[in-house]
Amino acid sequence: MQIKKKYNFSIAKAVLFTLLLTLSVIFITQANESSTQPLEISKEQILQEQKEILHRRLHEVTLINLFEQEGISSHYGKKFHRRKTSSGELFLLDKYTAAHRKLPFGTIVRVINQSNQKTSLAIINDRGPFVRKRIIDVSGIVAEKIGSSGIPPIKIQTILDSNDSLKMDDELFITFSLINPPQITLYEHINVLTQSTDFTYMMDMMHILQEKHPYINYTISVASSQYFEGYRKERLYYLGIVSPDIYLSRDI
């Protein structure tokens, strides 16, 4: 009886081995056949990959040219209204302008009041402030928008052309937002609502829309070639909404 059990067990092992060997041959044959087939990549996959590569490049270019500074902000008093600034323009309390010690005239900065997270934008058209720890003097309207009646801690952000490459590219746009840091993008990614050469008009519109729809990322954009070619030349500003995935690319 014991010999019969051993004999049956040996047969079972032989059958199992034969079955496994057969299955292995089948799987290897199928794998070889499938490996000789051409890879099927859809047009959508190719476009998506190109899109992700483009987003990474825009993100990298943005990081290279992003300027940030933290300190204290102050604002112009009424006595400076209609006085000439260092750029030659008249200072006006109701214009979205500011003074900085070094940033080029015409630079747009995003100003964040770090005590309440309120933000606004301003164009640098003057020099100052020349008081320790203060990094920017803002106009009355900018101070009002960021909820500042004194000298709050602030952060400023902007895009600088560190190697003069951005001003040579007509396809790139510098985009400023109240919600996100400045971004370099393409015109095709901007859903334009209106356009104007009047920055203050565009800012008034932007604040109105942002207050009504706080979760929509409204932006003001300008072609990089115009933005960096000189402050005295007229610029065309675009008020719109940038495609959300452009900002998601920051996490790539």
pLDDT score recorded for residue 231: 81
pLDDT score recorded for residue 224: 93
pLDDT score recorded for residue 76: 82
E strand or H helix that includes residue 177: strand 172-177
Q: How far is CA 137 from CA 69, 70, 97, 219, in A?
A: 14, 13, 9, 23
Q: Compute φ and ψ for 9, nearest 5 degrees.
A: -65, -40
Residues of the chain with pLDDT under 50: 1-9, 248-252
Q: How many helices (H) and strands (E) does the chain have?
A: 6, 11
Closest alpha carbon to 217 in 206, 231, 203: 206
Q: Where are the beta strands (DSSP E) in 59-152?
A: 66-75, 97-99, 108-113, 119-126, 134-138
pLDDT score recorded for residue 39: 59
pLDDT score recorded for residue 250: 41
pLDDT score recorded for residue 104: 95
First to last CA, the chain: 70
pLDDT score recorded for residue 31: 52
**Residue ranges of domains in the chain:** 64-159, 162-251
Its pTM stands at 0.78
3-state secondary structure string, 16-55? HHHHHHHHHHHHHHHHHHHHCCCCCCCHHHHHHHHHHHHH
Q: Assign residue 51 a region: left if phi > 0, alpha if psi is -120 to 50, beta otherwise?
A: alpha
Q: Look up the CATH superfamily of 64-159.
A: RlpA-like domain (2.40.40.10)
Q: Compute φ and ψ for 206, nearest 5 degrees.
A: -60, -45
